[in-house]
Amino acid sequence: MAVLLILFGLAFYAAGAPQAATAPQPNNDIFGRVVNAETREAVRRATVKVYTSKNQWDQLTDREGRFRFSGLARGEYRFAVHRDGYTDRAYTIERSDFDQQKELPIELHPQAVITGRAADGLGQPLQGVQIQALGARTRGGEIEVVNSTVTNDLGEYRLSGLDPGTYHLRAVYREGRSSEFDPTPVTAATSYYGSSEKPSDIAIKAGAVIAGIDFTLSPVRPATIRGTLHAENHVFTEPATLWIMGTAGEGGHNDTGKDGKFAIGEVGPGTYTVSAETLGPTAPLFGMATVQVRGDDVDGVDLVLQPIPKLNGEVRVEGSVPAGLKLGSIFFVRTDRVTLNPMQIGRPDENYKFTIALIPGEYTLSFDDSINKFGVQEVTLNGKTITNWKLPIAGTPETKNLVITVGSQPKK
């Protein structure tokens, strides 16, 4: 429950003849003060919002950091505070919060700043380099770009608006052709603070200013990767979708293989996984290869396509099954993102069974609320218990059997 309370006031009386006294009525005000959590100074011109699903009221804090919303009907509200350079705060206002008088103290934590410089191998500044703060991977397998900025003509950057946490920093540079009719040669480079194979963790605290995070990039002409597709000792002629992803998340674009051949362009230096898969619903195939790019085109990459292993899944509800029970989805998310579709979804039928195809690798399991509410008690793959919701899928062709056991009574 929020700690928001109201200020009671006195009832006012109309001028004129004496009237019978009436009981004081509450003003139903929501009021408080917004301060910097580190310095205790007032945060001026912060946006304060009180809202419901149908209505919204907005104010800016004054020079003392104060705000007041008057005349609100008793009820439940959402309350949010925003100021550039600070972490947002949000609260819930409940009906009981209108029972007492109290100023609400709101503490905003200042966000952190990272500064540095980007230059080429000769020490010359690079303008227009995009500096990205990377967070965790999303459910769909994407690396989250939390915030970004670009370097100026001196190669300098100032990356602000970062909440406390741990980040990786990536620098991405591209110069040259701006359209298909532009003859200017393209050069590109990507660099991670630390290394692309093992980026350094940058831990930041509220209000911190971290300087000296510099990058050295060596722009080169992007390469083209060419190769062939094979399946069961013969050239593969069906259309196949290809995906290329670097070891630390660089790349991430797709192409198409035709008549047993493929070519993926615009690839900068680095180590990549090139994967191919057919999207046919009956017998999908996949293939993978690791490719090193050092600035020159790479030819002769062979992708051998094999059947994607199938997984038979079942959700077992212990005890009596509630009448009309319908179970939602099970999500399988790769811990890397070296395939085109890093998340697959199992949808149990009326018998709580499903079948999906999973390209070999490691997956993280998560569950729809309709399954979570029962409480997942055990997950087994081919009879062996799975821990930490990590599911290893081997490249062997035999069908895998997954059993998810849940309780018979929903959680309260």
Query: The domain 30-108 belongs to what CATH superfamily?
Result: Carboxypeptidase-like, regulatory domain (2.60.40.1120)
Is the Cα torsion angle 228, 230, 234, 235 positive or negative in sign? negative
Structure token pair of residue 134: 């990377």
Contact 237, 262 (CB under 8 A): no
Structure token pair of residue 94: 């409940």
**pLDDT at residue 410, rounded to an integer:** 61
For the chain, the residue count is: 412
Q: Indicate the fold that domain 112-217 takes in CATH.
A: Immunoglobulin-like (2.60.40)
Closest CA to 61 of 103, 119, 111: 103
**pLDDT at residue 138, rounded to an integer:** 58
Cα dihedral: 382, 383, 384, 390 (round 10): 50
407 Cβ contact partners less than 8 Å away, ≥ 6 residues apart: 317, 318, 319, 374, 375, 377
**pLDDT at residue 412, rounded to an integer:** 56
Every domain of the chain and the residues it spans: 30-108, 112-217, 223-307, 310-406
pTM, whole model, 2 decimals?
0.67
Contact 343, 140 (CB under 8 A): yes
CATH class of segment(s) 310-406: mainly beta
**pLDDT at residue 25, rounded to an integer:** 47
**pLDDT at residue 408, rounded to an integer:** 66
Note every long-range contact of 406-409, with CB atoms under 8 Å and residues 24 or more positions apart, other chains counting.
406/315, 406/316, 406/317, 406/318, 406/371, 406/374, 406/375, 406/376, 406/377, 407/317, 407/318, 407/319, 407/374, 407/375, 407/377, 408/317, 408/318, 408/319, 408/320, 408/321, 408/374, 409/319, 409/374
Query: String of b and e for 211-226 (b: at least 16 CB within 10 Å)?
Result: eebebebebbebbebe
Contact 355, 312 (CB under 8 A): yes
**pLDDT at residue 280, rounded to an integer:** 66
**pLDDT at residue 383, rounded to an integer:** 92
Give residue 14's identity as a one-letter amino acid code: A
Evaluate whether 112-217 and 223-307 have a shared fold.
yes
Three-state DSSP state, 352: coil
Distance, in Å, from the CA atom of 405 to the CA atom of 403, rounded to the nearest integer, reads 6
Distance, in Å, from the CA atom of 109 to the CA atom of 89, rounded to the nearest integer, reads 9
CATH class of segment(s) 223-307: mainly beta
Cα-only R_g, the chain: 29
Contact 158, 115 (CB under 8 A): yes
Structure token pair of residue 164: 């406390």
**pLDDT at residue 181, rounded to an integer:** 78
Three-state DSSP state, 168: strand
- For the chain, 412 residues long, give each residue's pLDDT as a single digit of tens: 343 333 323 232 333 444 444 444 455 788 899 999 999 999 999 999 999 989 999 999 999 999 999 888 888 899 999 999 999 999 888 888 787 778 888 999 999 999 999 999 999 999 999 999 998 765 555 678 899 999 999 999 999 999 999 999 999 998 887 777 777 788 888 889 998 778 899 999 999 999 999 999 988 888 999 999 988 767 777 888 999 988 766 666 778 888 889 999 888 888 899 999 887 666 788 999 999 988 789 999 999 998 889 999 999 988 777 777 888 899 999 888 788 888 899 999 999 999 999 999 999 999 998 888 888 999 999 999 998 899 999 888 788 999 999 986 665 5
